[in-house]
Amino acid sequence: MSAAGVVVVGGGQAGFSVVQALRGAGYEGPVTVFADEPRLPYQRPPLSKKAHTEPEGLGVDLVPESFYRERDIDLRLGEYVAALDTAACAVTTGSGERVPYEHLVLATGARNRPLPVPGAELAGIHALRSLDDALTIGRALSTARDVVVVGGGFIGLELAQVARARGARVTVVELADRLLSRAVSPQLQEHLRERHERDGIRILTGTAVERIEGKGGQVHQVVTGQGPLPADLVVYGIGATPRDELAREAGLAVDDGVIVDEQLRSVSDPRVFAVGDCARHPHPHADGLIRLESVQNAMDQGALVGRRIAGGAAGPYESLPWFWSDQGPVKLQIAGLRASTDEVRVVPGDSDTLERLAAYAFRDERLVAVETLNWPAEHLAARRLLQQDPPVSPTDLAGSTLGALARARRTKEVRA
């Protein structure tokens, strides 16, 4: 039997990042990746953002096939892991093959929460997670006239804008009283709503979907607490749950995600790591354990675990979290983690049009998170300054921007 090496379960951004870092840091043992989709790992962010208006932007591989071949990475496309035996340090695949490991990395991602209403099984109702989903929605949009988007979060609003750009009449139905209620500060929620409404998207907040009705098996209307909405296409994005059942069935600690320590190791088994959407982890910017669903988190966690297994230098996981969402013409970017109690100050980036905005969140007189609209430079400055000492205080920012502050600090460093 060949030596047991690293087995990675999952072929998304996190799993890819693990193997890239492993080989990049000089790991020479066997590396096997189980990717349950039958295609090379691909870029996920475009799926909801520009996919349906630019279909050629879909399905862009992260790296070509030769990358895996040249680095001797055994990429098992279309194969999944059915069970995990931590006592024997082996996984069992869907076809019954047992593969031993020295280190196991769970990068299984998350799955969409299903739409919990009668009629959800009708044709013409879709959620978005994979490339196939994006292609399906893209095709449906070429004929759809009345689109109902269930869920006013990142994905829902991105898809609403995409559908609108394709000429459909679009209604967003959100159960909470506000859009993006968990993702951005209340100060920006109203602003974003106005932007979407100005683009012709109808938004119903505080509204429940009660059932979906069809004709001949095809979706026909969505019945909400505010009455029926005609629909020939329904897309929903109402959150995701981590794919943590392999870990749970193997007896590892799981609570809405695989519980890991600051090294991203399972608290139950030092030979098992978890990274990306499926990992619940400590973070210096968070109170307690958090689980983040973002490309940045997937890539940075994967890279840290890859380097650690390869024996390279790797401290605790403390990457600054950042997110972005292209909601039609609005580029929303977030750096840092905000708490609901933070004091938020909103500053326009241009005085007349309010096309650009920044919302600065402070906790105990320190800047902890920055949300920007259409202001990537300010976002990048925020990412820099949120990781520097001394922290930015409200006084530092009075009458200034983070961009100006970062430039000034950089000049000072150069002089010093």
Partner 1 sequence: MPIVIFELPDGTQRKVTADSGTVLMQAAVSNGVDGIVAECGGNASCATCHVYVDERHGELVGPPNDVEDEMLDFTAAERRPTSRLSCQVQVSDALDGLVVHIPEEQV
Binding region for partner 1 (CB under 8 A): 43-46, 49, 60-64, 66-67, 70, 295-296, 299, 324, 326, 331, 333, 376-377, 379-381, 383-384, 403, 406-407
Q: How far is the CB of 117 from partner 1 (least distance, A)?
A: 33
| 111 contacts 129 by C-beta, under 8 angstroms | yes
Q: How far is the CB of 62 from partner 1 (least distance, A)?
A: 7
| Closer residue to partner 1, CB minimum distance, 13 or 207 | 13
| Closer residue to partner 1, CB minimum distance, 22 or 122 | 22
Q: How far is the CB of 351 from partner 1 (least distance, A)?
A: 17
| Closer residue to partner 1, CB minimum distance, 60 or 88 | 60
Q: How far is the CB of 192 from partner 1 (least distance, A)?
A: 17
Q: How many CA atoms lie within 13 A of 328 on its CB side?
A: 20
Dist CA 312 CA 18 (whole Å):
13
205 burial (CB, 10 Å; 0-12 / 13-18 / 19+) is middle
Q: How many CA atoms lie within 13 A of 152 on its CB side?
A: 29
| Closer residue to partner 1, CB minimum distance, 354 or 380 | 380
Q: How far is the CB of 332 from partner 1 (least distance, A)?
A: 10
Among 113, 118, 132, 116, which residue's Cα sits nearest to residue 58? 132
| 14 contacts 39 by C-beta, under 8 angstroms | no
| Closer residue to partner 1, CB minimum distance, 17 or 86 | 17
| Closer residue to partner 1, CB minimum distance, 178 or 384 | 384
Q: How far is the CB of 308 from partner 1 (least distance, A)?
A: 18
Q: How far is the CB of 134 from partner 1 (least distance, A)?
A: 13
Dist CA 367 CA 343 (whole Å):
9
| Closer residue to partner 1, CB minimum distance, 122 or 314 | 314
Q: How far is the CB of 64 from partner 1 (least distance, A)?
A: 6
| Closer residue to partner 1, CB minimum distance, 113 or 409 | 409
